[in-house]
Chain A
Amino acid sequence: MMPKAVDALSISLMVLAAVAFSIGVFSLGNRQDLAALYWLAVGGLLLRASTDMLRPKSRK
């Protein structure tokens, strides 16, 4: 059950990343460059988190 919840969380992070990217580009259209940079960075980090959660890095 728990692994499925983590799967759902990683998919949710991907969807949130899409929303953040959209807000970022939308802000660029509204001449809000700082907000655009902010939301694009949030989107990138959310996307990175979703893939990291999918396949954890091996630890030595």
Chain B
Amino acid sequence: MLGVRSFDQLRAMLARAHMLLPGLYAWVTTVAYPATHRSASGGARTTAMVALIALVVAPLVAFDRPRLGRALGIYGFIGASTLTWVLLEPIVSVGRLEPIRGSLGAVGWALYAFGWGAVRRVDAVPEDDPRAILSDPLQPRSKLPAGAMAVFVASVVGALVPAFLAWRVVRPGHALLAHAVALACGIAMVVTGARLAIERGSWTPVTPSRVRVDSARAPLALVLLLLAAGTLFVLVR
């Protein structure tokens, strides 16, 4: 019995660590580092400490009082961190950001988001929940086309490459533009990739191939025009 209890305690501790550690990494790389700069104001240091306290306390209360835990761990931590950045404005301005540290910080915040997400336990059966409404298993209405995952992964990779390349831009104004452009490109890539992955095959058998190619006539013609103009420009120059 003690073993089961210890196992539950260990599981709870791991879950708390899963919530805390990514956030701690994000806090150290993006909040604590600029807040310890010698020209940082007292207010910024205070809000940075408030963010840390919210981050550490949240996993401790999250299991008994989930709403309070979420309020502290998500809203409290992000709010205090944002306030810290606002108060540190000259120190964390775009022109003074270091690409490597910025990239690591972005990874840290992504991990933090995953840390607060919840997935079903490996050995959990949803139907065992007393609130579950039991009925016949629902059958999927359709199947994904072959290679859907590969297409989607390709679109995600295509979305990530510009996001990483944007860190190469060193001119302050252009750097911000590059990140905005990379974000827009990434969203467009993922949306298009998801559509291509899922909707392939939904044309059968009604739409002839010629009609499909013909419907992309305008953008394809513009692409060809641009490529021809670009080639001409390179040749003339």
Contacts and interface: CB of A to CB of B under 8 A. Distances in A.
Interface of A: 2-3, 5-7, 9-11, 13-15, 17-19, 21-22, 24-26, 28-29, 31, 33, 38, 40-57
Closest 10 CB pairs of A and B: A18-B158, A29-B168, A56-B215, A52-B216, A49-B219, A49-B216, A21-B185, A48-B219, A25-B162, A53-B216
Given A2-B209, A29-B168, A52-B219, A14 B161 contact: no
Main secondary structure of the interface of A (DSSP, over half): helix
Main secondary structure of the interface of B (DSSP, over half): helix
B223 A49 contact: yes
Interface of B: 151, 154-155, 157-159, 161-162, 165-166, 168-171, 174, 177-178, 181-182, 185, 188-189, 192-193, 195-196, 199-204, 207, 209, 211-216, 218-220, 222-223, 226-227, 230
24 contacts: A3-B203, A3-B209, A6-B212, A7-B201, A9-B213, A14-B193, A22-B161, A22-B162, A22-B165, A25-B181, A28-B177, A28-B178, A29-B165, A29-B166, A33-B174, A41-B226, A45-B220, A46-B219, A49-B216, A50-B216, A52-B216, A54-B195, A54-B200, A55-B202
